[in-house]
Amino acid sequence: MSKLTGTQFVEAMEWRNATKKFDNTKKIDEKTWSALEQSLILTPSSYGVMPYKFIVVQNPELKAKLKDASYGQTQTEDCSHLVVFVAKEKMDVEHITKYVEKIASVRGQNPTDLDGYKKMMISNLVERMNDEQSLKWATNQAYIALGTFMTAAAVLGVDTCPFEGINPSKYDEILGLSGTGWKTVCACPAGFRASDDKYADLKKVRFETKDLIVHK
Ligand SMILES: Cc1cc2nc3c(=O)[nH]c(=O)nc-3n(C[C@H](O)[C@H](O)[C@H](O)COP(=O)(O)O)c2cc1C
């Protein structure tokens, strides 16, 4: 693996901002988008069980509807790709079975070799969690994917804006998720900042290192 230097990485993190205004004429090229999709696919999750999906919206009519469900935030319409992070409402045996079968096929194992792991996941993720805990847990996993995606985008020179300022139930309706067992968590427009985005050059505001990082 070739790696960035620390300086290059910090430069990308300094460059990244929560983009307030996208240039709606600029689109992410296919190769870069494909790498960004890999950042979503390769993001880690608890037990590796992937209790989420990512809906990528490019359709202008859908984007316009989602803007209304995002309190009018214009990034929704002006971005190149809008990613909606969706969590599985309640973990179930079917999902875990699908995962175990995938592990077995990828690693050339017999699914029964994984019976112990499967039982443990069913016990911890299905039986011991009530509905609220299960959704909260899946939501946490989706947020990790959001972080991975934004960091990957910055390294690739793509702008993003994390979005919690949305109406998740309206998103669910617009995206046809209502009643499917999947729920909108948050969204993230991606694209390229507008040259007249007056927020783009604002200095970053962060507490001092000593207030955020504790060495023991
Ligand atoms: C989970 C989350 C939700 C956010 N929701 C919104 C949002 O709905 N709209 C928006 O413009 N910015 C949103 N932000 C952006 C933050 O305000 C921004 O990240 C923060 O002020 C730090 O600025 P920076 O990201 O430019 O460094 C959100 C950030 C996070 C992490």
Q: Has residue 27 been placed in a domain?
A: yes
pLDDT at site 36 = 98
Q: How far is it, in rounded angstroms, from Cα 2 to Cα 5?
A: 10
Q: Has residue 45 been placed in a domain?
A: yes
Q: Has residue 152 been placed in a domain?
A: yes
pLDDT (tens digit per residue) in 65-89: 999 999 999 999 999 999 999 999 9
- Out of 161, 186, 206, mutate this one to test ligand 1's pocket (max ligand atoms within 8 Å of CB): namely 161
Q: Has residue 201 been placed in a domain?
A: no
> Which residue lies with its CA nearest to atom 21 of ligand 1?
18
pLDDT at site 99 = 98
pLDDT at site 57 = 98
How many Cα atoms sit within 13 Å of 62 on the Cβ side? 17
Find the 204 Cα to ligand 1 centroid distance in Å: 12
17 within ligand 1 shell (Cβ under 6 A): yes
Q: How far is it, in rounded angstroms, from Cα 77 to Cα 74?
A: 6
Q: Has residue 120 been placed in a domain?
A: no
pLDDT at site 209 = 98
CATH number at residue 43: 3.40.109.10
Quickly list DSSP for 67-83. Answer: HHTTTT-THHHHSSEEE
Return the amino acid letter for 103. I
In which domain, by residue range, is 172 found?
6-91+129-194
pLDDT at site 96 = 98
161 within ligand 1 shell (Cβ under 6 A): yes
pLDDT at site 55 = 98
pLDDT at site 166 = 98
pLDDT (tens digit per residue) in 149-169: 999 999 999 999 999 999 999
> For the chain, what is the domain count?
1
> Which residue lies with its CA nearest to atom 16 of ligand 1?
18
pLDDT at site 71 = 98
Q: Has residue 62 been placed in a domain?
A: yes
Q: Has residue 100 been placed in a domain?
A: no
Angstrom distances, CA of residue 48 to CA of 35, 40, 95, 100, 111: 20, 13, 12, 10, 16
203 within ligand 1 shell (Cβ under 6 A): no
> Which residue lies with its CA nearest to atom 24 of ligand 1?
17
Q: Has residue 75 been placed in a domain?
A: yes
Spans in the chain with pLDDT lower than 50: none
165 within ligand 1 shell (Cβ under 6 A): yes
